[in-house]
């Protein structure tokens, strides 16, 4: 067995993934904080979904970012 197995992603990738997860949680939390009925206010329809989309975009870049450690 090879003891020098490398992880699939580098440290930069994992940090970006963690940041993306935090942004996703923040976006979903913002959507639940909307006081309008059925979430039809500004937080539920505009701000929250934009933050969630930003979290998914960060995740996309975290997966496809080149790391100096993985070659």
Instruction: List C-alpha distances in Å: 33 to 16, 26, 42, 56, 63.
Output: 26, 11, 10, 20, 30
**CB of 41 within 8 A of CB of 33?**
no
Tens digit of each residue's pLDDT (9 = 90 or more) over 1-26:
555 677 788 899 999 999 999 999 99
Asked if residue 24 belongs to a domain, the reply is: yes
Asked if residue 44 belongs to a domain, the reply is: yes
What's the pLDDT at 3? Answer: 58
Asked if residue 1 belongs to a domain, the reply is: no
Number of domains in the chain: 1
Asked if residue 71 belongs to a domain, the reply is: no
Average pLDDT in the 27-39 region?
Answer: 92
Q: Whole-model pTM? A: 0.83
Asked if residue 70 belongs to a domain, the reply is: no
Asked if residue 17 belongs to a domain, the reply is: yes
Asked if residue 4 belongs to a domain, the reply is: no
pLDDT band at 49 (very low <50, low <70, confident <90, very high): very high
Percent of the chain with pLDDT over 90: 69
Domain extent, residue 58, equals: 11-64
């Amino acid at each position: 067995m090879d003891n020098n197995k490398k992880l699939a992603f580098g440290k930069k990738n994992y940090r970006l993934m963690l940041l993306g997860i935090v942004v996703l949680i923040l976006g979903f939390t913002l959507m639940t904080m909307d006081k309008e009925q059925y979430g039809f206010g500004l937080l539920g329809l505009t701000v929250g979904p934009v933050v969630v989309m930003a979290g998914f975009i960060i995740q996309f870049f975290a997966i496809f970012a080149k790391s100096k450690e993985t070659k």
